[in-house]
């Protein structure tokens, strides 16, 4: 049975669903006990433009490939609940329009690899800063 489930691609999905369910149950228990997951380093990182953008790119990647159970764990654990505004908002932040064939993070990596061969660089659109974000990644991580 295990081999059949694995061959059909279902075993990994069932395992991911179980992990997500366990995490969400623990998260709910923590909420009831008023204990929040505190990851100061992550929260400092997410207070920057780059940090919020990076987490948004990860969330868009998970959404793009329909990794719903992984996303269900990532969102509350990272503190991104309600902060992800979707792919279109991310495209504006990086000032980059990508076809729907790739997740944004893959398109940015591809562009970055091509830029070393004379292509153009992807850059942050300074007019699209996430609300409440600090100026640089180093300001929050190094402190």
pLDDT number for residue 46: 93
Where does residue 19 rank: exposed (0-12), middle (13-18), buried (19+ CB within 10 A)?
A: middle
CA distances from 97 to 21, 36, 116, 119, 125 (A): 35, 37, 20, 16, 12
pTM, entire model = 0.66
Angle of the 49-64 helix axis to the 68-78 helix axis, nearest 10: 160
| 143 residues of the chain, pLDDT tens digit each | 888 888 988 888 898 888 888 888 887 777 665 545 578 899 999 999 999 999 999 999 999 999 999 998 898 888 888 889 999 999 888 887 778 889 999 988 888 888 866 555 555 565 555 555 554 444 444 44
H or E stretch covering 123: none
Distance CA 109, CA 112 (A): 5
CA-to-CA dists, residue 86 to 27, 38, 92, angstroms: 24, 25, 10
- Rounded-to-integer distance, Cα 86 and Cα 90, Å: 7
Task: In whole angstroms, give the CA distance from residue 130 to residue 50.
Answer: 9
């Amino acid at each position: 049975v295990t081999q059949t489930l694995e061959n059909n691609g279902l075993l990994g999905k069932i395992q991911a669903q179980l992990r997500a369910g366990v995490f969400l149950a623990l998260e709910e228990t923590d909420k009831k006990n008023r204990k929040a997951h505190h990851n100061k380093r992550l929260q400092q990182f997410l207070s920057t433009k780059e940090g919020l953008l990076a987490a948004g790119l990860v969330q868009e990647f998970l959404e793009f490939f329909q990794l719903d159970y992984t996303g269900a764990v990532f969102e509350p654990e990272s503190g991104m609940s309600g902060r992800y505004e979707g792919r279109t908002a991310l495209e504006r932040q990086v000032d980059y329009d990508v076809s729907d064939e790739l997740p944004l993070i893959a398109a940015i990596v591809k562009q970055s690899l091509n830029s070393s061969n004379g292509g153009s660089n992807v850059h942050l659109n300074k007019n699209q800063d996430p609300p409440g974000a600090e100026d640089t990644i180093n300001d929050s991580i190094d402190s």
